[in-house]
Amino acid sequence: MPINTKNSFGEIKISDEAIASLAGSTVCECYGIVGVVSKSFVKDKYNDLLKKENYSKGVVISRKKDDLKIDIHVVISLGVKISEVVLEAQKRVKYTVEKTLNMDVKEINIHVEGIKEV
The predicted pLDDT at position 55 comes to: 72
Q: 82-101 vs 16-28: helix axis angle to the nearest 10?
A: 140
Which tens digit of pLDDT belongs to each residue from 4-15?
Answer: 888 889 998 988
pLDDT bracket for residue 44 (50, 70, 90)? very low
Structural domains for the chain:
3-116 (3.30.70.1350)
pLDDT value at 56 more than 90: no
CA 51/CA 24 separation, integer angstroms = 10
Going by their DSSP bridges, the two strands 33-36 and 59-64 should be labelled as unpaired
pLDDT bracket for residue 64 (50, 70, 90)? confident
CA 49/CA 60 separation, integer angstroms = 16
The predicted pLDDT at position 63 comes to: 86
Spatial neighbors of 1 by CB under 8 A, at least 6 apart, are 16, 63
